[in-house]
Amino acid sequence: MKIKILLLILIVISFSCTEDDGTATTITCTDNTYYALRSSNMGNPNGVIDVIQNTTSNITTSSFTVNGGIGISNSLRNHPSAWDKINKRFVWFDQEEGVDGFVYDETSNTLNNFSLPATAQTNLGRFTAPVFFQGVLYVLDFDANPAAPRFDIHIMNPSNGSIGPSLGQVLFNPGTLVTDGSFTFATSTTNDVDTIYFRVGNDIIYFNPISGIITDYRSINGIGGFTTGLEYNADKDVFYAVTDNQGSIDLLEIKINGANNYSVTVLEDNLNINMDSVSIEWKDCGKRLHIVTNFPGSPSSGGQDISEIIEFNLDASPSFVTQSFNGFIFGFVHKQV
């Protein structure tokens, strides 16, 4: 299905940032566009998903423009999108149902949906953790079989959902995945140079798509129970993730120094986040991290679903602001250029 999308004029904004050494520099962001998908509610029976766009650099004054929509009848949760800066498009998987994928092509101004292929795994399989590396989409084909949990890395065609052969496999101990949803909904990011990073539970896997080498860092100390998200800050060589640590939902900074040598810092604790529906997005220009979370409609909100976008300034001392929007905003992605 194709929907014509109205293309908006993008803006160029310059602003001052502070480097780690305390000096101020002016950074020019060639594009402050964020894309996302939105529906009226998370249940979304026979609803419409809209492509929305934001071009302001300040999330507290943000408003989204609706570009176009597509019909869908599935229930939804917030899972991460992946932006392809080579071909100017983003994809999002409906990992809750494991059926549909969506791809928005900025150049042709079209939104398509495609069917995810049948998983090659034997039990509770699903495709997860989409990430683009040099214009190619990589995904995990995940098998949550308690007797032999594992995932395979594949290349996927974002036009039709077809996959190539397995590029590598990671095995887990039997019983590892039975109770932890942060395994079956893995997340990913890349340094855009030579490595893709996959977060599965409290493990971070390095995959070099050029050499095919897989390096597996297991059971990183300091990551709590249910963990989601993975974003990479190349300047500091650290990762960001969100974890539910015994009831306190915390933003983590993770530094991997080598095998069994990890440093985990809590940047902010006791965040108001719905861990059943959350994704995070890093913007290198300006050193901003966005957490998007959703709260189902309640009597106090008049039955209206609410989405919150939390913007962290990680350039100096961590600080954050929060903006609330009506409806269900998901698949939030920064347009990298």
The CA-atom distances, in angstroms, between 41 and each of 78, 247, 261, 324 are 12, 26, 43, 15
Write down the mean pLDDT value for the chain: 79
Q: Exposed/middle/buried for 145, CB within 10 Å: 0-12, 13-18, 19+?
A: middle
What secondary structure does DSSP assign to 40-72, as a single string? S-SS-TTEEEEEEEE--S-GGG--PEEEEEEEE
| pLDDT at res. 22 | 39
pLDDT in tens, 30-80: 777 888 888 877 766 566 777 888 766 666 666 676 766 666 666 677 777
- What does the pLDDT average to over 230-256? 92
Q: Is the pLDDT of residue 26 over 60?
A: no
Low-confidence winner among 22-31, 108-117, 285-294, 312-321 (lowest mean pLDDT)? 22-31
Q: How far, in Å, CA of 271 to CA of 251, rounded?
A: 8
- What does the pLDDT average to over 124-140? 88
CB 229 within 8 A of CB 280: yes
Q: pLDDT higher for 282 or 42?
A: 282
The CA-atom distances, in angstroms, between 175 and each of 145, 171, 200 are 8, 12, 14
Q: Exposed/middle/buried for 296, CB within 10 Å: 0-12, 13-18, 19+?
A: middle
pTM of the predicted structure, to 2 decimals = 0.86
Query: In angstroms, how far is CA 324 from the centroid of its own chain?
Result: 19
Nearest one of 66, 68, 74, 124 to 101, comparing CA atoms? 74
For the chain, give percent helix, strand, coil, nearest 5: 5, 50, 45
Q: pLDDT higher for 128 or 123?
A: 128
